[in-house]
Amino acid sequence: MTGRFLLAALAALVLSGLAGTSRASELSDFNDASADAYRHYRAAVSYLRTGNTALAAIELEAATGKWQGVTGRFAANPPDAFADDAAWTVTLNGVGQRLQQALTSTDAGDLKMARETLAPVRDELGALRRRNGVVVFSDRVDEVTAAMDRLWRFRRERPDFVSAETLRELTSGTAILGHLLRRCREEAPAALRGDPDFLRFLDSAVEGVERLWQAVEGRDEQLLINTLRELRSFERLFFLRFG
C-alpha cells in the first residue's frame, strides 16, 4: 500500500511538472509567434514612413497572415499568463483588424491613413503584456523609444540652460536613456548578445549619450540638437531591427 502510494505521488509530481513545462512552453510559443508577425509590422511602419508603398504592402500582407495564425491558435486558448485578461480576445482581434485595414489603405495609396491605423498596435501589445506581468525584449525597446520621445522636445524647443527645471529634465532624461540602453544589453536574448550588429548599435548609442552629457554640461545647444538627431535615427533603426 505504501509503495503504491509513493508511486502515485511521484507520478502526480511528474505530471504536474510536465503541465507546468507545457504552460511555460505555450507562453513562449505565443511570444515567438507574435514576435514573428510583429517583425513584419515594424518593417511596414518603416516603409510607410519613407513612402515605399510596394514594400509596405508586402510586409503588411505578411504581418496580417502571421497574425491570423496567432489569433487562430491562441485567441480562444490563451497561455496561463493571459488567461484572466478580460480584453485578451478583443486585443488580439483588434490588432488583426488594424493590420488588415492598414493593408487596404496601403493598397489604395492612402499611406497617411495606413500609418494612423497602425500606430496604436505597438502600444496595445505593450499594454497587454504590462497588465499581465509579461516582459519581452520588445518592451525594453519601447522604453528606449519613450525615453527618446521625452528628450526629443529639446530638438524643437530651444533649451533654456539657465532654467533649473530644463537642466533637471535634460540630465534626468539623459541618465534614464543611458540606463535603458545598458539594460537592453543586459537583458537581450542570447542570440542578440552575440550579434555584432546589435552590439555595434548599442555601442553607437552609448557614445551618443556621452555626447549628450557633454552638450548638457557644456551648455552647447548645437551639439545637443545634432546629438538628439543622431539618437532619434538610432532609436528608429533599433526598433526596426530589434524591437
pLDDT at 171 over 90: yes
CB count in 10 Å sphere of residue 186? 9
- Grid coordinates representing 142 are 519601447
Residues 6+ apart with CB under 8 A from 180: 140, 143, 144, 147
pLDDT of 3 strictly over 70: no
Per-residue confidence band for 99, with pLDDT thresholds at 50, 70 and 90 = very high
- CB-based burial of residue 101 (10 Å sphere; 0-12 exposed, 13-18 middle, 19+ buried)? middle
Reported as a single tens digit per residue, the pLDDT across 210-241 is 999 999 999 999 999 999 999 999 999 999 99
Exposure b/e, 167-176, CB count within 10 A at least 16 = b: bebbeebbeb
**Number of neighbours of residue 193 by Cβ within 10 angstroms:** 12
What's the mean pLDDT in 32-58? 97
Do 29 and 95 form a contact (C-beta atoms < 8 A)? no
225 to each of 20, 23, 104, 151, 159, how far by Cα in Å?
A: 51, 48, 38, 10, 10
Q: How confident is the model at residue 157 (pLDDT cuts 50, 70, 90)?
A: confident
- pLDDT at residue 18 is higher than 50: no
In which band, very low, low, confident or very high, does the pLDDT at 14 lie, cut at 50, 70 and 90? very low
Share of the chain above pLDDT 70, in %: 90
For 121-135, the pLDDT digits (tens) are 999 999 999 999 999
Confidence of residue 108 (pLDDT cuts 50, 70, 90): very high
Examine the pLDDT at 206 and tell me if it is beyond 50.
yes
Range with the lowest mean pLDDT among 8-12, 50-54, 62-66? Answer: 8-12
Residue 158 confidence class, pLDDT cut points 50, 70, 90: confident
| pLDDT value of position 23 | 57
Q: How much is the average pLDDT of 154-180?
A: 93
pLDDT band at 77 (very low <50, low <70, confident <90, very high): very high
What proportions of the chain, in percent to the nearest 5, are helix, strand and coil?
85, 0, 15
The pLDDT-based confidence of 95 (bands split at 50, 70, 90) is very high
Give percent of the chain above pLDDT 90. 85
